[in-house]
C-alpha cells in the first residue's frame, strides 16, 4: 500500500487536488490518500463551498494557520506540518501550485526524508519580486518529482539544472476540474440573480498584493471599473484582501456607488465558471483564470507585467496589459468594440485534455518503484 498525503491551501489548490483524489478513489485501491488543508483561506465562502461543490471529502488534517505575513504563515505551516508527518509517515507528499504552504511543506518533507511531488512544476515568470516565484523556484529545487503542465515548464527546469529523470510532463490539472464541472456550471442561476445577460458584461478578479495593497494602484483600478461600467455591466467577486484594502483606503463606498458594477462576496466554483464562460471579457490578475479562460475560449486581459503561464498568450486568449489604467482601458475598449467575442474555437495546448490526474498518479507510481 502506497501512502500519499495531498496538501491544499488556497482555493485554486482545491481544484487541483480534487481530480487526483477522484482518480485514486476510482482506480487505485493500492493507494491510501489523505488530504491536508493548511487553512490559508479559512472562512466558509473561501473554502468550504469549494470542498462541497468539487466533491472533496473533509480534510483528514487541518492546520488552521489562517493568514499573516509571509514569514508568519510559512513558520506556522512548517511547525504544524512537521507534527502531521511525524505521525503519518507517508511515502509521498503531493504539493500543488505556488502558495507559501507549498514551499513550506516541501521543505519540511524534504528534511524528514519524505518524497515530494510538485504538481504545476516549472512555471516561471522570472520576476523575483513576486512571492509566488520564490515559492516556485525553491519548491522545484528540492522536490523529488516535478509534474509540469506544459512543455515550457520542462525547459525551465532543465535550464535550472534539474535532472531530467525527475521531470514528467503531465498536462494541466486545472483543466480536469474545469471539464468535469463545465456542464454542471450551466445550472448556475447567478446571471439571472444579477439581472445580466450572456456576453453582455465584463468579469473582474483582482487580489494580488501588487494590485490591491497600494492606495494609488487600487484607485486606478476603481477608475478603470467606473469608466468601463459606463459601457457595460461589470461583475467583481471581491476577494477579502481587496475589500479590506478598499475599506482602509476609503474606496469601498465609492466602488459601491458605481452604477452597473456588481460587487459580490466570493462565489463558488460553479458560479465562477458560469461567470467566466458567459463573459464578453475577463480582467484578472489570477494565474488560474488565465488558463481557464484559454480553455473556455474567452478573451482575458491580465493586469500584470509578466505571467508564469506564457502558453495562455501564445496558444490561448490571454493578453498581458500591465497596470497602467489608460493602457488597460484602451485594451478593454478595443475588445468591446470588436463585437460579441468570447468562446473562440481554439486548439487546446497539449495535454489540456481532462486526463492529467491519470498521468499524475501513474508518474508517482512509476517513481515509487
- The rounded distance, in Å, linking the Cα atoms of 233 and 263 is 11
* Size (the chain), residues: 369
pLDDT confidence of residue 44: 45
Residue 177 has pLDDT above 90, yes or no: yes
Q: What is the third-level CATH fold of 184-337?
A: Rossmann fold (3.40.50)
Percent of the residues in the chain that have a pLDDT greater than 90, as a whole number: 85
pLDDT band at 172 (very low <50, low <70, confident <90, very high): very high
pLDDT band at 347 (very low <50, low <70, confident <90, very high): confident
Task: Tell me the three cell numbers of residue 16.
Answer: 487541483
How do residues 310-341 score in pLDDT, each as one tens digit?
Answer: 999 999 999 999 999 999 999 999 998 876 55
pLDDT band at 342 (very low <50, low <70, confident <90, very high): low
Q: What is the DSSP string of 298-316?
A: --EEE-SS--S-THHHHSS
Q: Which of 97-101, 111-115, 135-139, 201-205 has the lowest mean pLDDT?
A: 97-101
Residue ranges per domain, the chain?
A: 2-171+352-368, 184-337
One-letter-per-residue 3-state SS of 138-191: HHHHHCCEEEECCHHHHHHHHHCCCCHHHEEECCCHHHHHHHHHHHHHCCCCHH
Residue 270 has pLDDT above 90, yes or no: yes
CATH superfamily of 2-171+352-368: Glycogen Phosphorylase B; (3.40.50.2000)
Active site residue: 61, 207, 239, 335, which one? Answer: 207
pTM tops 0.85: yes
Closest C-alpha to 50, from 80, 76, 17: 17
Rounded to a whole number of angstroms, the distance between the first and last alpha carbons of the chain is 12
Q: 337 or 292: whose pLDDT is higher? A: 292
Catalytic annotation on 207? yes
Beta strands across the sheet bearing 281-284 = 261-264, 234-237, 202-205, 281-284, 300-302, 318-320
| Cβ atoms of 4 and 23 closer than 8 Å | no
| Cβ atoms of 318 and 300 closer than 8 Å | yes
Task: Tell me the three cell numbers of residue 350.
Answer: 497539449
Amino acid at each position: 500500500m502506497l501512502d500519499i498525503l495531498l496538501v491544499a491551501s488556497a482555493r485554486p489548490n482545491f481544484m487541483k487536488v480534487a481530480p487526483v483524489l477522484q482518480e485514486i478513489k476510482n482506480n487505485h485501491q493500492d493507494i491510501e490518500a489523505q488530504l491536508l488543508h493548511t487553512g490559508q483561506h479559512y472562512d466558509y465562502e473561501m473554502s468550504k463551498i469549494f470542498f462541497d461543490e468539487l466533491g472533496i471529502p473533509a480534510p483528514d488534517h487541518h492546520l488552521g494557520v489562517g493568514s499573516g505575513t509571509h514569514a508568519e504563515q510559512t513558520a506556522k505551516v512548517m511547525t504544524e506540518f512537521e507534527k502531521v508527518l511525524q505521525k503519518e509517515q507517508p511515502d509521498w507528499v503531493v504539493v500543488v501550485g505556488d502558495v507559501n504552504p507549498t514551499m513550506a511543506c516541501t521543505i519540511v518533507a524534504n528534511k524528514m526524508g519524505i518524497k515530494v511531488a510538485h504538481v504545476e512544476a516549472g512555471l516561471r515568470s522570472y520576476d523575483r519580486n513576486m512571492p509566488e516565484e520564490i515559492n516556485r523556484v525553491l519548491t522545484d529545487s528540492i522536490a523529488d518529482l516535478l509534474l509540469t503542465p506544459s512543455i515550457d515548464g520542462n525547459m525551465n527546469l532543465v535550464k535550472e539544472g534539474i535532472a531530467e529523470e525527475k521531470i514528467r510532463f503531465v498536462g494541466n490539472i486545472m483543466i480536469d476540474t474545469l471539464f468535469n464541472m463545465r456542464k454542471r456550471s450551466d445550472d448556475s442561476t447567478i446571471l439571472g440573480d444579477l439581472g445580466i445577460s450572456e456576453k453582455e458584461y465584463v468579469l473582474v478578479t483582482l487580489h494580488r498584493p501588487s494590485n490591491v495593497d497600494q492606495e494609488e494602484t487600487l484607485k486606478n483600478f476603481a477608475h478603470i471599473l467606473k469608466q468601463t461600467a459606463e459601457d457595460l455591466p461589470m461583475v467583481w467577486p471581491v476577494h477579502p484582501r481587496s475589500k479590506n484594502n478598499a475599506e482602509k483606503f476609503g474606496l469601498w463606498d465609492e466602488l459601491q456607488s458605481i452604477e452597473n458594477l456588481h460587487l459580490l462576496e466570493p462565489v463558488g466554483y460553479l458560479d465562477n465558471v458560469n461567470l467566466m464562460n458567459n463573459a464578453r471579457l475577463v480582467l484578472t490578475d489570477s494565474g488560474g483564470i488565465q488558463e481557464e479562460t484559454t480553455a473556455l475560449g474567452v478573451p482575458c486581459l491580465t493586469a500584470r507585467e509578466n505571467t508564469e503561464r506564457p502558453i495562455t498568450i501564445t496558444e490561448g486568449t490571454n493578453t498581458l496589459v500591465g497596470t497602467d489604467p489608460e493602457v488597460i482601458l484602451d485594451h478593454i475598449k478595443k475588445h468591446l468594440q470588436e463585437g460579441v467575442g468570447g468562446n473562440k474555437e481554439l486548439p487546446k495546448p497539449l495535454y489540456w485534455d481532462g486526463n492529467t490526474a491519470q498521468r499524475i498518479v501513474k508518474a508517482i507510481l512509476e517513481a515509487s518503484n
